[in-house]
């Protein structure tokens, strides 16, 4: 997905993208995320608050084909956008295929693992489609 508001933000802030620092460019992207993916940003902000309050890792599973699911994939599915979200929200994020965001205080606390990925994926499959050796 391209970000529809990106060039509007760049023009409004009169940013010369070739000369701008990484901080200025990240700020422009953050503004763009808030405009184009406000549902996803609100969701991640809520996750960050919950993790900071509890101090514990949080895993949620959403519908991948929903508007929220698409926005979460765009925000957490690429390195740059995930890094910006982590820096702005001061939290570590991970993302499992089939739309399962994970948040923790530190990257090492995300504890992303193959078993959890398979469990998340298998919950969406019909029982008859799950291989017998799972």
* Ranges of each domain in the chain: 37-124
Six token digits for residue 56: 């514990």
Residue that has been written with the tokens 């193959």 in this structure: 114
Q: How much is the pLDDT for 123?
A: 74
DSSP 13-74: TT--TTT--HHHHHHHHHHHHHHH-HHHHHHHHHHHHHHHHH-S-EE----TTSHHHHHHHH
d(CA 111, CA 102): 9
Task: Look up the pTM and report it.
Answer: 0.88
Handedness of CA 35, 40, 42, 45 (dihedral sign): negative
Q: How much is the pLDDT for 125?
A: 56
Six token digits for residue 27: 């700020």
| Number of Cα atoms under 13 Å in the Cβ half of residue 106 | 2
In tens digits, the chain (134 residues) has pLDDT values of: 689 999 999 999 999 999 999 999 999 999 999 999 999 999 999 999 999 999 999 999 999 999 999 999 999 999 999 999 999 999 999 999 999 999 999 999 999 999 999 999 887 654 444 444 44
Question: Helix or strand or coil: residue 103?
Answer: strand
């Amino acid at each position: 997905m391209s970000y529809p508001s990106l060039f509007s933000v760049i023009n409004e802030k009169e940013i010369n993208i070739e000369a701008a620092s990484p901080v200025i460019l990240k700020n422009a992207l953050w503004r763009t995320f808030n405009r184009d993916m406000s549902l996803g940003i609100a969701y991640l902000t809520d996750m960050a608050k919950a993790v900071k309050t509890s101090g514990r890792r949080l895993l949620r599973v959403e519908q991948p084909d929903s508007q929220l699911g698409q926005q979460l994939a765009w925000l957490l599915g690429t390195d740059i956008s995930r890094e910006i979200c982590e820096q702005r929200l001061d939290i570590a994020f991970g993302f499992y295929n089939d739309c399962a965001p994970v948040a923790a205080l530190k990257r090492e606390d995300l504890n992303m693992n193959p078993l959890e990925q398979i469990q998340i994926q298998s919950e969406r499959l019909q029982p008859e489609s799950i291989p017998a050796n799972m």
